[in-house]
Amino acid sequence: MGTAVDGLPGHEMAHVGDARFYHGPGPLPLVTVRTLLDALAGRLSYDAARRTFVSRRRGPDAQRAAVGNAAHRMAACAALGRDAAPLAGEPPEAAAMARNIARELRSSAGRALATERNMASERLGIGGTVDLVAEWRGRLAVIEHKTRRSIGEPTRHTRDPWPARRDDLLQAAAYAHMWSGAAGATPEALVVLVADSGSCVPVVREAAPWMREIAGERVARTVASMRELAAASPAYQSCA
């Protein structure tokens, strides 16, 4: 069996090769947002002979992952007004990134409505974990935290030094759909807080165009194909 997903009763995390899905009561799994974005960007493909998904990107940098996870944890604490001190063993640079994110939140964000919450959209066939839902300068917003070695540094998948990738905004838009379905209120803005150890840059965009894109026909076709392929795979069926 897979790992239970907090906040989504009856769902478990299921791995099909390098792709991740939520196994639930329905006949088809939900695609995790991260897996969907990898597929849309060509970083993930389906190996028909092996009946599994294969990633085309390098494996994760363990140190960078540790920094990002620690910074997210501390930023979530700060959003709730709690102690955001680093835990034993957490990378020291993560605390600086979290402080920079917290500074932006104190300056522009209102009370947190959700932090690190697992959500899903059965209509779109996707699920994932939103960093923060709160008002941003008086407007309901999905707020995502991203860490970089340097804000001007090109990311692993693109040479574009712009601090927020296209993926980041599509990810936030997916969570905006999930929040709208769960809470009955549609976010007006998407905010990506991109932090390094020295600063934090808020990238703010109108939610509506990005929400239309993530709910569009191209994405829907990709999601439908991935759900059917995953459901037919031996790895997924072993979770049932």
Could you read off the pLDDT of 66-89 as tens digits, one per residue?
888 999 999 999 888 888 888 888
Residue 194 has pLDDT above 80, yes or no: yes
pLDDT tens sequence across 124-139: 999 999 999 999 999 9
pLDDT tens sequence across 32-69: 999 999 999 999 999 999 999 999 876 556 778 888 89
Q: Which residues contact 154 (CB under 8 A, 6 or more apart)?
A: 160, 161
Mean pLDDT computed over 88-94: 89
Mean pLDDT computed over 83-100: 89
**Which of 107, 43, 97 lies closest to 69, judged by CA?**
97
pLDDT at 64: 81
Residue 3 has pLDDT above 90, yes or no: no
Q: With bands split at pLDDT 50, 70 and 90, how would you rate the model's confidence at 150?
A: low
3-class SS at 23? Answer: strand
Q: How far apart are CA 192 and CA 62, in angstroms?
A: 23
pLDDT at 58: 63
Q: How far from 77 is each of 8, 82, 83, 237, CA to CA, in Å? A: 22, 5, 6, 37
**Which of 93, 59, 97 lies closest to 195, judged by CA?**
97
**Which of 29, 30, 32 lies closest to 19, judged by CA?**
32
- Under 8 Å between Cβ of 155 and 126: no
Determine which of 20-34, 150-164, 224-238 has the lowest per-residue pLDDT on average.
150-164
pLDDT at 169: 94
Residue 177 has pLDDT above 90, yes or no: yes
Residue 131 C-beta-side C-alpha neighbours within 13 Å: 32
Q: How far apart are CA 207 and CA 224, in angstroms?
A: 24
Beta strands 12-16 and 19-23 are antiparallel
3-class SS at 217? Answer: helix
Average per-residue pLDDT for the chain: 89
Q: How far apart are CA 127 and CA 130, in angstroms?
A: 10
Q: With bands split at pLDDT 50, 70 and 90, how would you rate the model's confidence at 240?
A: low
3-class SS at 180? Answer: helix
Length of the chain: 240
